[in-house]
A and B are shown apart, each in its own frame.
Chain A
């Protein structure tokens, strides 16, 4: 379980202290997938940076499975907006990077897992390519594969599909949910797309303008439903979230 209590983040910019986030409190059950949605600049990315251990200077408590969140202790998979692949490593080596950093012994079982996930995401044939030789959608799938291969305690995604064109995005989302349903790692992702939040979030957390605080947390009844966009409930929920946005993301 991921537990966030009283989290707030301040940082220095030109000698001024900027209050970027919080206070935020959240409890996320193991195996849940949470969509965080809010206006740009509300501190969504800051929240992910705290959860991924990139920002270490924060106030409040963040624990994962009972211990203070620490990337050296926990296995955290982080997929940034630009996918975060290393341009000097080919697809296979990029996928193995997280295991190498964690100093895991790469045995036949891990290789099998990697092959399986790569196969599922349809990137088997791209193993020897460098990121430069991949399309946006392919890079995205490699990034997803890399995160799942390490079997993370916590999976974080920063606007994971926003760099893709509409058709590629839908396909990528479907593939992602398919793999996610199989392994169910605890996941937090940030998005600015209401549709994406409803499609992929078991819970939807709506955040306010900067400094971001939580307006509302919605249990999404539509999570994991097929043909989502034809569903009447979908229209209701999305227009509800839209109304919050129109009110100006206020508490």
Chain B
């Protein structure tokens, strides 16, 4: 998709959401649901409440959580795809733990790692890493053996086969996974920033809620949405530069 179409799509979506929001606000007519106009008018006060710092702190937690999940998940996924015995060893573990709602482990993680960033990042990693492992393993196993033949006949080393065949083959699946992971990480963030911190966009929203500052609360919601959207666009750009051959 061209940049121009994308901008059009964004504007259309933005407009639709705001119209729905506006209509709902007018119909409900309560202080807990202000109109978008009121919220946007209030946005310029946000610099005083240091919203940008909250966003940066959240960004740090998301990047760390998603980054660790990707690296760890890729390593384990590749290990399971390449080695039958590792797959036999790890598969039951992955299969069994996959459906456990990892958010339920939050108290355990908090007790073990304290209230700081490490427990927040750990819970993100716990939730994401399994889907990365499975996505990577399956993507590698789906590459047909024929794909490797011409490069094998060139006497390519294992590293070259990985670089020229495996990595580009699994890249589209990895990017889709990254997209899902970031969405999930943002949701977990909200939850994980509800305790033991004075910073982060999740904290900001919950704090405004507690202070009955509804305009501030909505501003936070708009900010976290835009934040998610920017990350989304960045993945789009990444996808277009690395997987242009698919389009």
- In Å, the complex CA distance between A131 and B147 comes to 14
CB pair B150–A71 under 8 Å, yes or no, is no
| Cβ B245 vs Cβ A71 within 8 A | no
Cβ of B164 within 8 Å of any chain A Cβ, yes or no, is yes
| Contact string against A for B residues 151-167, beta-carbon threshold 8 Å, 1 for contact and 0 otherwise | 11111100010001100
Report A-chain residues with C-beta under 8 Å of the C-beta of B168. 86, 88
The A contact surface, by secondary structure, is loop
**Pair A52/B153 contact, Cβ less than 8 Å:** yes
Is A54 engaged at the interface, CB distance under 8 Å to the other chain?
A: yes
A156 within 8 A of B: yes
With A and B bound together, what is the CA distance between A102 and B153 in angstroms? 11
Is the CB–CB distance between B245 and A53 below 8 Å? no
Minimum CB–CB distance for A64 against chain B, Å: 13
Q: Do B152 and A72 have beta carbons less than 8 Å apart?
A: no
- Chain B residues with Cβ below 8 Å from A53 are 152-153, 155
**Contact call B150/A80, Cβ cutoff below 8 A:** yes
- The distance from the CB of A132 to the nearest CB of chain B, in whole angstroms, is 7
CB–CB A97/B164 < 8 A:
yes
Contacts of A79 in B (CB 8 A): 150
Inside 8 A of A78's CB, which chain B residues have their CB?
Answer: 149-150, 153-154
In the complex, the answer to whether A101 meets B154 with C-beta atoms within 8 Å is yes
A54 touching B153 by the CB < 8 A rule? yes
B108-156 interface with A by 8 A CB criterion? 146, 149-156
A30 to B1, CA, bound (A): 51
Q: Which residues of B contact A89 (CB under 8 A)?
A: 245
Residues on A with beta carbons closer than 8 Å to the beta carbon of B151: 97, 101
Known contacts being A88-B245, A89-B245, A132-B245, is A76 close to B153, with CB within 8 Å?
yes
Contacts of B244 in A (CB 8 A): 130
Q: Of A52, A87, A98, A156, which contacts B245 at CB under 8 A?
A: A87
Question: 1/0 per position for A69-99, CB-CB distance to B under 8 A?
Answer: 0111110111110101011111000000110
B160–A101 CB distance below 8 A: yes
What DSSP secondary structure best describes chain B's contact surface?
A: helix
Interface: B28 (CB within 8 A): no
For B171, the chain A residues whose CB sits under 8 A away are 88
**A73 lies within 8 A of B155 (CB):** yes
Verify B245–A130 contact, CB threshold 8 A.
Answer: yes
Q: Are A70 and B153 in contact (CB under 8 A)?
A: no
- Chain A residue at minimum C-beta to C-beta distance from B151: A101
Distance of A83 from chain B, by nearest CB (Å): 9
Asked whether A52 and B152 contact (CB < 8 A) given A87-B245, A101-B160, the answer is: yes
Complex CA–CA separation, A132 to B152 (angstroms): 22
For B150, the chain A residues whose CB sits under 8 A away are: 78-80, 84
- Residues in B6-57 with C-beta less than 8 Å from chain A: none
B164–A76 CB distance below 8 A:
no
Q: Is the CB of A54 within 8 A of B245?
A: no
Asked whether any CB of chain A lies closer than 8 Å to the CB of B243, the reply is yes
What is B's interface to A at a CB cutoff of 8 Å? 146, 149-156, 160, 164-165, 168-169, 171, 243-246
Residues of chain A touching chain B, judged by Cβ–Cβ distance below 8 Å, are: 49, 52-54, 70-74, 76-80, 82, 84, 86-90, 97-98, 101-102, 130-132, 156
- Show 15 residue pairs from A and B whose CB-CB distance is below 8 angstroms, ordered by the A residue: A52-B153, A71-B153, A74-B155, A76-B155, A78-B153, A80-B149, A84-B146, A86-B164, A86-B168, A88-B168, A88-B245, A90-B245, A101-B160, A101-B164, A131-B245
Q: Which 5 A-B pairs have the closest CB atoms?
A: A71-B155, A72-B155, A52-B153, A84-B150, A78-B153
Given contacts A52-B152, A88-B245, A97-B164, 14 further A-B contacts (CB under 8 A): A71-B153, A71-B155, A73-B155, A78-B149, A80-B149, A84-B146, A86-B164, A97-B151, A98-B154, A101-B151, A101-B154, A101-B160, A102-B155, A132-B245
